[in-house]
Structure 1
Amino acid sequence: MSRLKVAPNPDLTVGPDNKQRWNQPAHRRHGFHNAHRLFRRTLMVRSRNVLMLEEAHQDLTATVPALADLLAHPAFSAFCCLREGQVIMEQAAPDFGTDRPHSIQSITKLHIHLIMGQLIGQGFVSPDAKVAQYLPDIGSGYREANVQALLDMAVSNDFAEDYDDPHADCYDEEIALGWRLPTEDQEEISLKDFASRIRGFRETEARTVAEYKSANTDVLTLIAAQVCPVPLTAQIERIADAVGYEGAFHISLSKDGFPAFSGGGCLSARDLARFGLFLARGGLDLSGNACANANFLRQSLTRSAPSLTPPKEWLRYSNHIMTDGRVVAHAGYGGQFLMVDTVTGTSCAFLSVLENDAGYDDTFMSNVAQVLRHVCCAETA
């Protein structure tokens, strides 16, 4: 048999900028629009029943003119605003649609809020316990940290999430999440190995400003997998059934089979807004049954927690949600944001793809958050 010709997977191979092709600026828009089929391995889940939506369109740009600027931004992919079972407004860029999957990045972290809330409520996890109680083999970067600190992004260690630095630890994390292939001198590490290699835990006083680390979510994922009485895949199906997705929820998987809750989710704008409605319902499923720890969610809104860094300091990071005491929200790398108003029951999903080198712009994201909050609060009429 003649020798077969092979080449490294072009989408997952790292280039000179230490980014895989689908996350390089020239290819990032295609990458975020197709991440669900570009990741090394994924889980795909459909809901048993679909939450049907009625058309009740309003021109929200007339109420919030700044929304029009966001929808005209070159990065814009899709926007969907829902209230209860009604589509208030939706719009998509010419190259996309509100029903197409899109990488939602760190908005995926809201799944850990839901799953850990259940496990804490059921007594499987104590927020005050140290990580080593659940993961005896974890490395020194997390061994002495308590679970609450991870939930609030209040851990100091050597892991760095600096999108401006192409060699920051968060990019090595992508190997474990199944987003890229290792270089020739690296191994394809598991999520357990990645988390265990983090060092440098530093005891600090009660933090007033969050130190955002996606590795915190990875460790919480490992804890949940260790103590949860059902597999994490079953938890994902349970949440999907409670939300009522029309399309599919996709999430990348690590080499050792763990869902990448730190940022591997993909949803359409409509389905992301449906997910927001589930949060607005306080975790009730489509039949009105509890599918989340409602007390945990309510307490997350009002408790003291570290604030985000400027210019988003008006939001706190509490139990893996972003909140100002009224909204439930989360941002995502590349330009994603979900904003849910607990007063009006309005859910706004905004998807976009920033094509600068870092793939992130804090000023842009702060503006998105402010505009979506105005949209949500304006929905009282």
Structure 2
Amino acid sequence: MRLPKSVSNPDLSVGPNNKQRWNQPEHRRHGFHNAHLLFRRALMFRARTVLTLTKNGNHSDLGSIPEVAALTSHPAFSALVCARGDQILYETCAEDFSTKHPHSIQSISKMNIHLIVGKLAGQGLLDLGKPVSYYLPDIGSGYATAPVQNLLDMNVANDFSEDYEDPQAGCYTEEIALGWRLPIGDAPEPTLREFANGITGDDLTNQSGFADYKSANTDVLTLICAKISPVPLSVLIENIVDAAGYEGSFHISACAEGLPAFSGGGCMSAEDLARFGLLIARRGIGVDGKNVAARDFLDKSLARSGVTLLPPKDWLRYSNHLMTNGRLVGHAGYGGQFLLVDMSTGISCAFLSVLQNEAGYDSDYMTKVLDGLSAILEACQ
């Protein structure tokens, strides 16, 4: 029988710069706005009970703050939602987007691992002082001797590279295992386990004095959690979704074995990302009355020293898969995302955007995003 003509999936095939079409600069905005439909495979969740958010018109002037106006008028801008309790203090979006449409949140997805690890450690199932090989005997030299705590703090030195300006960096190879792209030709698609086991290293001590950011750390933590959790990771995700009370769908890409890509595969709306921030502000107490966080673990994560981020963001430290200064807590995401929560006032600010430069990242731009969200939190005190 003669087979019909076919081509490699154009959205997932890589070009000369070693990036798939949906992450090419000219296609990235469409890609980030539709990543939940473009991934090779993904898991999807809806909440049983939705946190109702009503609009509070007393903060319409937040958009006139110079730092905020600069962000919302930037070509990269997608959406911004700031909420407290059950009220939306301020929200706005680009003409081609909505605050209710799913958007790639990239590494903000890592905050789910903070919640899951905290719960497992609190149940006595995970000892953060143990080396990774204690839980994953087959792990490669890039992680075998590193304490689990060091992965949580982005405090591991190995051969994995997350240099977005280098098209051959390890983070782009990682995307095959995350279900974001296809390997070249007929090469097999590695699982998350196979990818992580292949990372090498020698002295894993971070000598830089700053956080050594590696999304592969999250992949290894995912493998550990999948192994020791008494229930599937999908159940733990569902618990978080129910606790946050998302109105729309939460999508997360998955590897060939079905493990979720907590390192960056999450997609959700700006309103629901703000709901996730409100869950953090409530220290894990869900709208369903269940607690999906270990409060002691979260509080200690804010209070402990962690590892300082690179300047000019060195007023923040990386602690247990969170970025924090002790009061503010959140996480950045590749492409222009940030969730920032004020644990004192309970305000959650979710910012989504899509940088269309070649690298898909700009440190100066992300500093301005952080400054804008901080200005909102300061104005609302």
TM-score, normalised by the number of residues in structure 2: 0.98
2:52 is matched by which residue type in structure 1? M
Question: 1:59 aligns to what SS in structure 2?
Answer: helix
Q: Is the 8 A contact 1:70 1:368 kept in 2?
A: yes
CA contact (8 A) 2:327 2:342 kept: yes
The code of the aligned residue for 2:337 comes to Q
Given that residues 142 and 201 in structure 1 are in contact (C-alpha distance below 8 angstroms), is that contact kept between their aligned partners in structure 2?
no
Alignment check: 8 A CA contact 2:155 2:206 kept: no
Cα distance in 2 for residues equivalent to 1:83 and 1:236: 23
For 1:222-237, list aligned pairs within 5 A. 222-237=223-238
C-alpha contact 1:60 1:375 (8 A) present in aligned 2 = no
1:328-379 Cα offsets, whole Å, 9 max, x none, are 1100000000000001100000000000000000110011112112212321
Tell me what 1:87 maps to.
Answer: 88
Q: Distance in 1 between matches of 2:325 and 2:181?
A: 35
**Corresponding residue number in structure 2 for 1:59:** 60
CA distance in 2, matches of 1:109, 1:62: 28
Residues 297-330 of structure 1 deviation map (CA, whole Å, 9 limit, x = unaligned):
1111110111111121111000000001101110
Question: Mean alpha-carbon deviation: is it higher for 348-357 or for 304-313?
Answer: 304-313
Q: Is the Cα contact below 8 Å between 1:341 and 1:347 reproduced in 2?
A: yes
For the 8 Å contact 1:321–1:330, the answer to whether it is kept is yes
Q: Which residue of 2 aligns with 1:41?
A: 41
CA spacing shift, 1:142–1:163, aligned 2, 3 Å: same
TM superposition shift of 1:205: 6.4
Pair 1:164–1:46, CA change in 2 (3 A): same
Q: Relative to 1, partners in 2 of residues 1:61 and 1:228: Cα closer, same or farther, differing over 3 Å?
A: same
Amino acid at match of 1:330: H
Q: What does residue range 168-187 of structure 1 map to in structure 2 within 5 Å?
A: 168-184=169-185, 186-187=187-188
Amino acid of the structure 1 residue aligned with 2:28: R
Matched residue, 1:372: 373
CA contact (8 A) 1:214 1:262 kept: yes
CA distance in 2, matches of 1:245, 1:216: 27
Shift of 1:204: 2.3
Count of equivalent residues: 380
Q: CA deviation at 1:207?
A: 6.3
Distance 1:205 1:11 in 2: 37
What amino acid is aligned across from residue 287 of structure 2 in structure 1? L
Tell me, yes or no, if the aligned pair for 2:105 and 2:333 is still in contact at 8 Å: yes
Q: What residue is the counterpart of 1:238 in the other structure?
A: 239
User: How far 1:65 moved relative to its partner?
Assistant: 2.2
The question of whether the paired residues in 2 share the 8 Å contact of 1:78 and 1:93 is answered with yes
Indicate how the Cα distance of structure 1 residues 205 and 257 shifts in structure 2: closer, same or farther if over 3 A, else same.
closer
Identity of aligned residues (%): 59
Q: Separation in 1 of the partners of 2:196 and 2:71?
A: 37
Aligned ranges for residues 1-381 of structure 1 at < 5 Å? Answer: 1-57=1-57, 58-61=59-62, 64-184=65-185, 186-204=187-205, 208-380=209-381
Aligned partners of 2:258 and 2:202: how far apart in 1? 27
Measure how far apart 1:287 and its partner are.
Answer: 4.2
1:109–1:217: 8 Å Cα contact kept in structure 2? yes
User: Which 4+ stretches in 1 moved above 3 angstroms?
Assistant: 60-63, 205-208
Paired residues of 1:102 and 1:266 also in contact (CA < 8 A): yes
Structure 1: which 5+ residue stretches go unaligned? none
Tell me how large the CA RMSD over aligned residues is.
Answer: 1.2
- Using the TM superposition, give the Cα deviation of residue 256 of structure 1 relative to its aligned residue in structure 2, in angstroms: 1.2
The answer as to whether partners of 2:162 and 2:213 remain within 8 angstroms in 1 is yes
User: Can you list the C-alpha shifts for 1:43-76, whole angstroms capped at 9, x where unaligned?
Assistant: 0000000000111032243673210110000000
Distance 1:174 1:41 in 2: 12
Please give the secondary structure, in 1, of the residue aligned with 2:308: coil
Offset at 1:33? 0.2
Shift of 1:208: 3.2
CA deviations 1:256-281 (Å, max 9, x no partner) are: 11100000000100000000000000
TM-score of the aligned structures, taking structure 1 as reference length: 0.98
Q: Which amino acid aligns with 1:32?
A: F
Post-superposition CA distance 1:18-60 (Å, at most 9, x none) = 0000000000000000000000000000000000011103224
Partners in 2 of 1:370 and 1:265 — Cα distance? 24
- 2:145 & 2:138 partners in 1: Cα distance? 12
Name structure 2 gaps, 5 residues minimum.
none
